[in-house]
Amino acid sequence: MKKQLFSVSLMLLAFVMTCAADDVTIDETNYLNPLVTGVPSLSIAPDAVAGGMGDIGVATQPDIHSQHWNASKYPFANSSAGFAISYTPWLRRLGVSDIDLAYLSGYYNISKIAGTVSASLRFFSLGEILLRESADAIPIPVNPYELAFDVAYSRILAENFSMGVAFRFICSDLSARNDPNYYPGYSFAADINAYYHLPIEIKSGESLLGIGLNLSNLGTKISYDQNNTSNFLPTNLRFGLSYLIPFDKFNRLAINADINKLLIPSRKSKFTEGFDANDPNTWTMKEKQYSEIGVMQGIGYSFCDAPGGFKEEMQEIMWALGVEYAYNEQFFGRVGYFNENENKGNRKYFTFGAGFRLSAFKLDVGYVVSLAQNNPLDQTLRFTLSFDVDGIKALADRGKE
C-alpha cells in the first residue's frame, strides 16, 4: 500500500512539474480570471469569532465553530461538549432583508481514546425571487437556497497532534420549484484536516503555538441540468499559524495567519482547446470542455493552468491576518484583514469583532468593512451564540444545592 501511495505521489508531482515547465510566454498584464465554483456559500465564514479576525480559523484556539475551519481541533477543546448557532445577514446596506446564512454546529468529546464526534448544518437563503416566463406573464415567487450537512470524527494521534475527517452532504436548489427545466444539484464531499499545538514556556507564562491544515470540500462535482454541464465545489487547501501570548494571569493575545488556495481549474486556461498564448480570445474554456474535467484532474490543473504562468498562479493564493485580545477569557476584542488579488475576485476587507462570555454562554459579534465594492457583507454585523455543555451542567448542579 505504501509503495502504491508513493507511486501516485510521484506521478502527481511529475504532472505538476511538467505543467509548470510548460509555461507560456505572454504579456503578464492584469486581466480578470476569477475562480468560479458551484455552491459558493460553502466558502463563507459562518461564525462571528473567525469573522472578526479576517475569516481566520484553521489554527486558532479550538472552539465550537471548528467544524468549518478544522475539525481536528476539537479533541483539544477545554469542554467535553458544546454547540452554537450563528447568523449572518447579507446585503442589508442595499435594503435586502431576506438573504442570510444560518449555521448550527456542535461537538462531543467521547474520550481521549475514543475521539470526538461533531456535526454542523449550514443553510443559505437567497431570499424570494420573482420569475416570469415572459415580460407580461404573472410572476412566480421562488425561494432558492443552498444547504450542507456534515459529520466529522477527530482524534488525538500523538501528545500534541490530532487529525480529523468530515463527510458532507450538499444540496443546492437555485429554482426551488417544480419545473422540468430546473433541477436541484446534489453532491457529496469530505474534509481532511490536521492540527498541532505546542505549549512553550515564556517569562509571562505558557504560550501556545498552533499549526493547522485543512483540505476541504473534496468531492463530486455538482450539476443543475442532469449532468449536461457541471461545476466544481469550492475545494480548498488552507494552512495557518497561531501564537497565543499570555501577558499575565488575566490578559493574553493571539496572533493568527492563514493562507488558502482553491483547488479548481481556471475558466481562462492554457489547457483550453485551441489555446494561443498571443490571442486572449482563445483562453476561455468552453462549457463542454470545462464540464468534462474530472475532480482529481482539476486539482492538478489548479497549480499550473493559468495563462499568466507562475505569476498568475501565485495570485490565486489568498491570505489573512487576525489578532484576538482576551481579558480573563471573558471579554474579547478582535481585528483582522483579508486579501484576495484583484484579478481573482478582489475581496479586500478589514474585520472587527468582540465577544463576551458569561458562565456557560458566549456571545460574539463581527463587523466587516470592505475596501472593495463587491463584498456583500460590507458594513454587516454577524452574530454567534455559543453554549458550553460543561458550564450548563455546572449551573444545573448549583441550582440543586
Rounded alpha-carbon distances, angstroms, from residue 311 to 108, 284, 390: 44, 18, 50
Q: How many whole angstroms separate alpha carbon 353 and alpha carbon 385? A: 14
Going by pLDDT thresholds of 50, 70 and 90, the confidence category of residue 181 is: low
**How confident is the model over 245-258, as a mean pLDDT?**
95
Residue 96 pLDDT: 74
Please check the confidence at residue 178 and state whether its pLDDT lies above 70: no
Which uninterrupted H or E stretch holds 17? helix 2-21
pTM across the whole model: 0.87
Angle, CA of 6, 12 and 16, to the nearest 5°: 145
Burial 196-235 (b: 16+ CB within 10 A, else e): bbeeeeeeeeebbebbbbbbbbbbebbbbeeeeebbbbbb
DSSP states of 124-193: EE---EEE-SSTTSPPEEE--EEEEEEEEEEEEEETTEEEEEEEEEEEEESS-S--TT---EEEEEEEEE
CB–CB of 336/52 below 8 Å? yes
At 273-319, the pLDDT tens digits run 988 888 888 899 999 999 999 999 999 999 999 998 899 999 999 99
Helices and strands (DSSP H and E) totals, the chain: 7, 16
Going by pLDDT thresholds of 50, 70 and 90, the confidence category of residue 397 is: confident
CB–CB of 345/355 below 8 Å? no
At 339-372, the pLDDT tens digits run 999 999 889 999 999 999 988 899 999 999 988 7
Residue 176 pLDDT: 57
Q: How many whole angstroms separate alpha carbon 8 and alpha carbon 344? A: 30
Burial 83-94 (b: 16+ CB within 10 A, else e): bbbbbbbbbbee
Q: How many whole angstroms separate alpha carbon 55 and alpha carbon 349? A: 10
Burial 122-140 (b: 16+ CB within 10 A, else e): bbbbbeeeeeeeeeeeeee
Beta pairing partners, 203:
none
CATH architecture under which domain 2-400 falls: Beta Barrel (2.40)
pLDDT above 90 coverage of the chain, percent: 66
Closest CA to 322 of 259, 251, 238: 259
Residue 262, phi then psi, degrees to nearest 5: -75, 135
Q: Which three cell numbers stand for residue 148?
A: 450542507
Of the ranges 6-15, 303-312, 371-380, the best mean pLDDT one: 303-312
**How confident is the model over 181-195, as a mean pLDDT?**
90
Instruction: Return the minimum-mean-pLDDT range out of 1-10, 195-204, 293-302, 356-365.
Output: 1-10
Q: Which three cell numbers stand for residue 213?
A: 491544515
CA atoms within 13 A on the CB side of 276: 6
Rounded alpha-carbon distances, angstroms, from residue 109 to 58, 106, 116: 19, 10, 4
CB atoms within 10 A of CB 330: 13
Please check the confidence at residue 256 and state whether its pLDDT lies above 60: yes
Helix, strand, coil percentages (3-state) for the chain, rounded to 5, are: 20, 45, 40
Q: Kindly report the three-state secondary structure assignment for every residue of 211-267.
A: EEEEEEEEECCECCCCCCCCECCCCEEEEEEEEEEECCCCEEEEEEEEEEEECCCCC
DSSP states of 339-388: E--TTTT--EEEEEEEEEEETTEEEEEEEEEESSTT-TTTT-EEEEEEEE
Average of per-residue pLDDT values in the chain: 87
